[in-house]
Amino acid sequence: MTKTCGRCRKELPRTAEFFHRKGNGFAHICKECRKIVHREHYEKNKEDYIRNKNERRDALKEEVNKLKSDPCHYCNNSYPAACMDFHHEDDNKEGSVADMVKRGSGTDSVMREILKCKLTCCLCHRIITSYGKDFLEEYLKRV
Ligand SMILES: [Zn+2]
Ligand SMILES: [Zn+2]
């Protein structure tokens, strides 16, 4: 007895070697085709997953960049988003905001982290991390 596969149209022996059992009979497509269908399904899901993840990350990046349009907390200057950082003034850092955005972390956790930070221009940020906040405040008084 043979059975024609509903996908590849091959005529195969109607046995459990070629078709998965289904109820009292056999599946509609052969085992080989089942494997291929599964793989295609998996690949497609994977693509969707990656695309969704990228879209989420882009949206998050845009959200964060909007917040970066405010002036620097220390020197009060405004710069393009690329020059603005989130600085953890207190020692309560769970992660760098920039890294979290890059990783595509959840919006909630990124926003929570941002709330702990001061928006800092890259110049002030560099001075703070190199010389400390007191040095920066002294420096800003002089310029
Ligand atoms: Zn087949
Ligand atoms: Zn600044």
pLDDT in tens, 23-46: 999 999 999 999 999 999 999 999
Q: pLDDT for 47-63, tens place per residue?
A: 999 999 899 999 999 99
Q: Which residues surround ligand 2, an ion (CB under 5 A)?
A: 72, 74-75, 121, 124
Ligand nearest to the CA of 9: 1
Structure tokens at 57: 């990350």
CA–CA distance from 143 to each of 10, 14, 54, 116, 140 (Å)? 82, 87, 42, 28, 5
Ligand nearest to the CA of 70: 2
- Domain finish residue from 14, 34, 63: 63
Same domain, 16 and 33: yes
Confidence of residue 143 (pLDDT cuts 50, 70, 90): confident
Same domain, 101 and 135: yes
Give per-residue burial for 98-107: e unless 16+ CB within 10 Å, then b. Answer: eebbeebbee
Q: How far is the CA of 48 from the centre of ligand 1 (A)?
A: 26
Same domain, 40 and 101: no
Domain extent, residue 143, equals 68-143
Same domain, 49 and 81: no
